[in-house]
Amino acid sequence: MRSKGPRGSLLKATEQYTGEPVSPDAPLFRAALAAARAAEPYPDLPAAASHLLAVGRV
């Protein structure tokens, strides 16, 4: 399974860095899938994805 946009890039970069595929059971994969599902009702959102910036707090 592949994801388009930033989620797909994140998964691909992780696979390249580790040299191993990201398992569908991995938290990173589940988070990317949840983000894709959350964006699904908004078809314009993926088109704007390259212009989005995420900010988080620790």
Instruction: State if pTM tops 0.85.
Output: no
Residues 14-36: tens digit of each pLDDT: 888 889 888 889 888 888 888 87
DSSP 42: -
Segment holding 27, helix H or strand E? helix 27-39
pLDDT of residue 14: 82
CA-CA distance, 55 to 50, in Å (whole number)? 15
Whether the predicted pLDDT of 7 surpasses 80? no
